[in-house]
Amino acid sequence: MEVPGFLILMYLFETYLDLRQHATLKLPTLPKTLEAVISQEKFEKSRAYSLDKSHFYFVHEFVTILIDSAILFFGILPWFWKKSGTFLPLLGLIEENEILHTLSFLAGAMIWSQITDLPFSLYSTFVIEARHGFNKQTIWLFFRDLIKGICLAIVLGPPIVSAIIVIVQSGGPYLAIYLWAFMFVLSLVIAPLFNKFTPLPEGELKLKIEKLAFSLKFSLKKLFVVNGSTRSSYSNAYMYCFFKNKPIVLYDTLIQ
């Protein structure tokens, strides 16, 4: 009872904060500090979108807390951990194998997560995002990404989980650093499988970014453009660094 109770307490506190933010979103007038920055029309569009997202968030979080509390209250996780180990004898394994047992457990958890989260993902993408003109995905692209993610989990999941378990077992005092380095490299490998990265063409924009980076002593190595417009009309950019290698990635929607 203690763990679900703490979980519910955190949910109530976070919901209280979210309700305060929701009340602020309902204010119809543009803050004076933003009057010279954004038009009333854009403010209304932003406000309507934020309210829709807020309503959706409340429903999503409420369902999530119900499911998570039930899982903890009825001891589903330890029960499923034991059950997932019963598949090992089917593989001809008599002795307990931590890696295979973990893979069996995570496979079941992934299936459950995909099933429970799918309705919310569909509604968020094809109702809320589409209603406000942000969604660029087709239903085919949505499920293609979903299937691609599942296939990647099946192919890459076992070696990744095995590597993480080995790192945890032998990481010692530098465990956190080893795990961070491993996950960072992994993210660089997986990202190109879902998006196309191309070098930013020569021109005024590239020159200005390079000049800004030089003035800030930012050791910029490469500038990429990612095809974010295939999924959304959001504009974004990000950077990542590994020692002195610091590329910057711009969404094509931001350039447009």
Q: At what angle do helices 40-73 and 2-25 cross, to 10 degrees?
A: 170
pLDDT, residue 95, reads: 57
Q: In the CATH scheme, what is the homologous superfamily, with its name and number, of domain 196-256?
A: Metalloproteases ("zincins"), catalytic domain (3.30.2010.10)
pLDDT, residue 194, reads: 73
pLDDT, residue 2, reads: 52
The alpha helices in 74-174, defined as continuous H runs, are 76-85, 98-123, 130-131, 139-170
Yes or no: say if 65 and 53 are a contact pair by the CB < 8 Å rule: no
pLDDT, residue 1, reads: 47
Yes or no: say if 252 and 225 are a contact pair by the CB < 8 Å rule: yes
pLDDT, residue 88, reads: 67
pLDDT, residue 116, reads: 93
Query: Any idea which residue has 């309902």 for tokens?
Result: 26
Yes or no: say if 253 and 234 are a contact pair by the CB < 8 Å rule: yes
pLDDT, residue 63, reads: 95
pLDDT tens-place string over residues 121-147? 999 999 999 998 888 888 998 999 899
Low-confidence ranges of the chain (pLDDT < 50): 1
pLDDT, residue 119, reads: 95
